[in-house]
């Protein structure tokens, strides 16, 4: 079991399974959300996720396109959120308290990566976001 929390520790959660697949998304939305070259995250089934406290500190911004960004109202840390109408939760990796040892590392939306970024060429790359069927197989 893994635990995670935001910077101010107002928002806490648990991941009830090992994380085997992670990704970096290089699209402009993820760069703006993270404030850096990519969004480093994973996604897990909602049955393997548990909030540990009241969620009143979470604020969610949703674009008309469906892109969702949830964050702590106190410290601004990005926090997990439901991925659209799926049964999966998006989890920013920087919130995890324990080390993880994923065997699958992917890069998404490399066609829009920042011009100053150097990608690790050992990871599979996708010019855009892969379709949902592929993602669900990798992250199950």
Domain that holds residue 123: 2-135
Would 66 be classed as within a structural domain? Answer: yes
The confidence score (pLDDT) of residue 127 equals 80
Q: Which of 7-16, 56-65, 72-81, 112-121 has the lowest mean pLDDT?
A: 112-121
- Dist. CA 86–CA 106, nearest whole Å: 20
Q: What is the CATH number of the domain that holds 65?
A: 2.170.150.70
Q: Residue 74: which residues within 8 A CB-CB, separation 6 or more?
A: 6, 8, 10, 57
Q: Which of 46, 29, 51 is nearest to 86 (CA)?
A: 46
> Sorting pLDDT into bands at 50, 70 and 90, what band is 122?
low
Of the listed ranges 19-23, 61-65, 99-103, 128-132, the one predicted with least confidence:
128-132
Number of domains in the chain: 1
Instruction: Judge whether 10 lies within some domain.
Output: yes
Compute the distance between CA of residue 43 and CA of residue 26 in angstroms, rounded to an integer: 16
What's the half-sphere exposure (Cβ side, CA atoms, 13 Å) at 80?
28
Distance CA 129, CA 39 (A): 13
What is the phi/psi pair of residue 91, to 5°? -130, 120
**DSSP letter, residue 48:** G
Read off the pLDDT of residues 53-74 as tens digits, 9 standing for 90 and up: 989 999 999 999 989 999 999 9
Residue 140 lies in a domain: no
In a domain, 114, yes or no: yes
pTM here is 0.84
The pLDDT assigned to 131 comes to: 81
pLDDT in tens, 40-54: 999 999 999 999 998
Within-domain flag for 70: yes
């Amino acid at each position: 079991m893994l635990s995670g929390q935001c910077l101010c520790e107002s928002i806490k959660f648990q991941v009830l399974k090992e994380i085997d697949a992670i990704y970096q998304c290089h699209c402009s939305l993820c760069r703006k959300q993270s404030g850096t070259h990519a969004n480093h995250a994973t996604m897990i089934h909602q049955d393997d996720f548990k909030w540990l406290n009241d969620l009143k500190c979470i604020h969610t911004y949703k674009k008309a396109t469906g892109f969702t960004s949830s964050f702590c109202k106190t410290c601004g840390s990005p926090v997990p959120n439901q991925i659209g109408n799926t049964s999966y939760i998006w989890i920013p990796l920087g919130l995890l308290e324990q080390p993880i040892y994923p065997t699958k590392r992917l890069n998404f939306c490399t066609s829009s990566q920042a011009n100053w970024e150097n990608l690790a060429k050992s990871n599979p790359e996708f010019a855009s976001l892969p379709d949902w069927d592929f993602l669900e197989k990798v992250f199950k």
